[in-house]
Structure 1
């Protein structure tokens, strides 16, 4: 109850502080540049200046937070990546040279590549199929709600759920893991699924696909509903069947949205961390870049140079996709 009380107090204080900030700053701006009680020429000039300043009062806190929590960490990470483990002695590109020759880093790159191949493709595909199917059934909104629900679960919470699904007990004992219970009921032998090299990566990917399918479904469902009915009716009149309408009429019209969903999930995959940490902690050849960065930065005494170098690599992979995504989304909105 104390934690709940403190959470409510914190939220209330935050809302009050935001309201007070915007009220006081606008009040102060109106006092510095009054539009009443002065000549019409001066009032017009003050209103023009105040209108130019006012948007920055709203943007100011966000820009400050972005600078402190985004821009500064990027600059600091690049700086640390050129220094030794303590972050004091300059070593140039030595940390990047280490990465090229480190087996665990190469394993992480390979695993991230697997995630990039599988997760965005399957999450987008399942989201698209479900969006198309649920729009045609009367209980479609209920189905969408159920499929979207995993989005409300944290990655660690989802990992705990799937850890029970993959749970392994020695042969002869009752299997509480759903997957092993199914396998043993069919006469098979139980497996420690998340310890199977290579294949365990796909078992971890299932978790993120399960979560992100709901996101893809919602965005693509909205895009499908935006398709003009006239094009579909014309295709039906011309004799097109359901598959032809879906692949040759509907998908081409929402291809931009599909690309945005795909790249958004791709950015998330490049930063995947929580699932691997909670499920395997990078063991059994499941290491990914973000988890490797965490290991070098905060474990075993910490190596700020190598940890920051890995962070720079992740950023270098994410930023181009993010820029393309923003431009594409902007173009879609203008269209």
Structure 2
């Protein structure tokens, strides 16, 4: 079967199956389970209307459970087995994780990433959005700032690898140090603790453009009347920005912040490309990858821990979205 014919058959079967399911569900409710006739017609119609939405939602709920809930439960169950995949060890993998110093380092580094990157990217994006809107060539500036978003994480890492190179002729940092009189070049990727922040700079550089575009649209949506009223009252530009504009787009700022937070919790490419998780730069995804092909139970346990860390952020984001809809 050719791909074109296969696609057409899939569409026909999918659409036809959906139509048949919904038609059959209505027929089952109205003709078999709760027939709209006889002395109980009112009660049957009420019951049918109560059940009907759940029948219509069942396909989506089934697919969601199959592709989301089942893998979560299956992953947790898999994490309770040993390296060979056959010996049940209970919470042994989790006990080994929390006893591993490298895992604790990865957790601390992940917390640093979550605290620094979303805040810095959102802040710089907000400042860039405000400043570029005041420039005659602001669209060009926005294009330049947004350009890193078009680069893959691996490509961006390779670019910054040259910036951080342990060579004054190539590396920008060492060139500056040499210009200031430093005798020896330094490999910033091997400087304990601080090398994590040098890695964060790469993701901040990439995500600032994303934050700028979203926040720029939000700033343009602020009513001019509020700004004009503040100017008449004698507010200076800083007061207008931080006390008038920022509070009005706080919902958008939160959305940008949480979106970047989700990305940070899943980041892997940058650390793997730059250091491979060495020199104290290990994070949970790279730590999980180090066990992926030699201890599947341990790697699955790390994946489950990452999910537990992401879950509170996701729940908080959903609650905030519901508040804004009210």
- Normalising by structure 1, what TM-score? 0.79
Aligned to 1:310: 302
Aligned to 2:40: none
d(CA) in 1 for partners of 2:319, 2:9: 34
Q: CA deviation at 1:71?
A: 3.2
Please list, as runs of the form range in 1=range in 2, the aligned pairs for 1:91-240 lying within 5 A after superposition: 91-169=89-167, 175-188=169-182, 189-240=184-235
* Aligned equivalent of 1:329, options 278, 301, 321: 321
Cα gap change, 1:296 to 1:253, in 2 (>3 Å): same
- In the alignment, structure 1 segments of 5+ residues that lack a partner are 1-8, 34-47
d(CA) in 2 for partners of 1:52, 1:71: 21
Q: CA deviation at 1:81?
A: 1.6
d(CA) in 2 for partners of 1:219, 1:304: 40
d(CA) in 1 for partners of 2:129, 2:10: 38
Count how many residue pairs are aligned between Structure 1 and Structure 2.
302
Cα gap change, 1:145 to 1:82, in 2 (>3 Å): same
- In the alignment, structure 2 segments of 5+ residues that lack a partner are 26-48
Q: CA deviation at 1:108?
A: 0.7
**Partner of 1:191: helix, strand, or coil?**
coil
* Aligned equivalent of 2:312, options 311, 316, 320: 320
d(CA) in 2 for partners of 1:331, 1:225: 23
Matched-pair contact (CA < 8 Å) for 1:264–1:325: no
d(CA) in 2 for partners of 1:128, 1:186: 32
**Partner of 2:278: helix, strand, or coil?**
coil
Cα gap change, 1:52 to 1:115, in 2 (>3 Å): closer
Cα gap change, 1:219 to 1:308, in 2 (>3 Å): same
Aligned to 1:36: none
> Is 21-30 or 195-204 further displaced after alignment?
21-30
d(CA) in 2 for partners of 1:223, 1:198: 36
Please list, as runs of the form range in 1=range in 2, the aligned pairs for 1:5-44 lying within 5 A after superposition: none
Q: CA deviation at 1:72?
A: 3.2
Residues 80-108 of structure 1, C-alpha deviations (whole Å, 9 max, x = no match): 22111122222111222122221101111
Q: CA deviation at 1:114?
A: 1.4
Cα gap change, 1:175 to 1:68, in 2 (>3 Å): farther
Q: CA RMSD in A?
A: 3.2
**Partner of 2:267: helix, strand, or coil?**
coil
> Is 194-203 or 68-77 further displaced after alignment?
68-77
Q: CA deviation at 1:20?
A: 5.4
Is 1:87 matched up with 2:82? Answer: no
> Is 190-199 or 276-285 further displaced after alignment?
190-199
Q: CA deviation at 1:21?
A: 5.9
**Partner of 1:167: helix, strand, or coil?**
coil
**Partner of 1:187: helix, strand, or coil?**
coil
Aligned to 1:77: 75
Q: CA deviation at 1:67?
A: 4.9
